[in-house]
């Protein structure tokens, strides 16, 4: 009977876990809807703004585009790793951390040897991971998710742009999960600073943008091109970072909903196996008791 008791305890434990994972799945599904609406509404504006910057890319030089459009030798690099504050979302956080490590190892090996590659973590999971690598850890902004807004992200972007302007970094890139749907997220690396004058609007493997198809708009500038470009570049950088964090936020809830759905299904499979085992052991115990009773009766009759 001790074995039966163990199985019953395991069944109760799995049922409790299944209830938790099912509840987490429902919560993530509700949060996903809001996060998905936010990134879907942001994407057209961000894409159009970046398309405008691409179409006037001839003006993005040191005299017209300012310091944020000036490319210089890459000696110091900042990588912004966008993760979540919580786990239980499958490989969501691990994929970004691996991508950042791969980027550091393969693209900036020379800069790493000089100690000139730093990682700014957005999200507690990224901070916990890179905090163990003090040679690259540059701090975190985990509080951005407490009240995710454009103003909160703008403060981070302002700090990064100031450090770039001061010469603390020569290049800034952001690594994040791009949201496609609840089950699919892509790890994307985008250059934030300096603003690339002829960079693609979409990551590798994405759909061609208007400029890549040979289409280019002709704008009328008022008051003048220089003033507008200098105002648009910082705004475009802030929008780019904000979009990346919104993408990651939606991807997090999608990944967690998918992970909890799989966990709930797995708990159901374990329950079936445990209940089958419990019934087998119970049947064996009952059969054994019946045999003992029959044997005792025959002994009395004999």
Q: Coil, strand, or helix at residue 184? A: strand
In this prediction, residues 274-280 reach a mean pLDDT of 89
Per-residue pLDDT tens digits for 79-130 = 999 999 988 888 899 999 999 999 998 889 888 888 899 999 999 999 999 9
Tokens 């300012």 belong to residue = 66
Which one is catalytic: 7, 78, 89, 192?
Answer: 89
Which residues lie below 8 Å from residue 27, measured CB to CB, with a gap of 6+?
none
Whether residue 89 lies in the annotated active site? yes
Would you place residue 246 in the very low, low, confident or very high pLDDT band (cuts 50, 70, 90)?
very high
Domain map of the chain by residue range?
2-21+261-301, 31-259
Per-residue pLDDT tens digits for 180-211 = 888 889 999 999 888 765 444 344 444 444 44
Check if 2-21+261-301 and 31-259 are the same fold.
no
| Protein fold of 2-21+261-301 | Helix Hairpins (1.10.287)
CB distance 139 to 123 below 8 Å: no
Nearest to 46 by CA among 232, 206, 204: 232
Query: Check: CATH 1.10.760.10 for 31-259?
Result: no
Phi, psi of 176, deg, nearest 5:
-155, 170
Q: Report pTM.
A: 0.80
CB distance 126 to 144 below 8 Å: no
């Amino acid at each position: 009977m001790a074995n039966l008791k163990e199985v019953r305890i395991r069944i109760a434990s799995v049922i409790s876990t299944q209830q938790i994972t099912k509840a987490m799945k429902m919560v993530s599904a509700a949060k996903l809807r809001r996060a998905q609406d936010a990134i879907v509404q942001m994407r057209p504006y961000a894409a159009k703004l970046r398309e405008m910057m691409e179409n006037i890319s001839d003006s993005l030089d040191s005299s017209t585009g300012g310091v944020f459009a000036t490319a210089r030798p890459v000696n110091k690099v900042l990588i912004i790793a966008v993760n979540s504050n919580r786990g239980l979302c499958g490989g969501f956080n691990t994929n970004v951390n691996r991508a950042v490590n791969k980027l550091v190892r393969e693209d900036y090996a020379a800069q790493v040897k000089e100690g000139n590659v730093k990682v700014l973590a957005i999200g507690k999971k990224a901070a916990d991971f890179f905090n163990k690598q003090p040679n690259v850890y540059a701090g975190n902004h985990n509080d951005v998710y407490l009240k995710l807004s454009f103003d909160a992200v703008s403060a981070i972007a302002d700090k990064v742009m100031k450090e770039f302007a001061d010469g603390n970094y020569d290049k800034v890139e952001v690594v994040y999960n791009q949201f496609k749907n609840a089950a699919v997220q892509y790890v994307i690396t985008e250059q934030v600073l300096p603003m690339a004058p002829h960079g693609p609007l979409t990551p590798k493997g994405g759909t061609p943008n208007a400029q890549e198809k040979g289409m280019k708009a002709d704008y009328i500038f008022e008051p003048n091109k220089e003033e507008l470009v200098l105002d648009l570049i910082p705004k475009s950088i802030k929008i780019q970072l904000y979009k990346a964090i919104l993408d990651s936020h939606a991807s997090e809830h999608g990944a967690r909903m998918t992970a909890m759905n799989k966990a709930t299904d797995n708990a159901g499979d374990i329950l079936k196996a445990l209940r089958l085992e419990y019934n087998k052991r119970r049947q064996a115990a009952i059969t054994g008791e019946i045999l003992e009773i029959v044997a005792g009766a025959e002994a009395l009759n004999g």
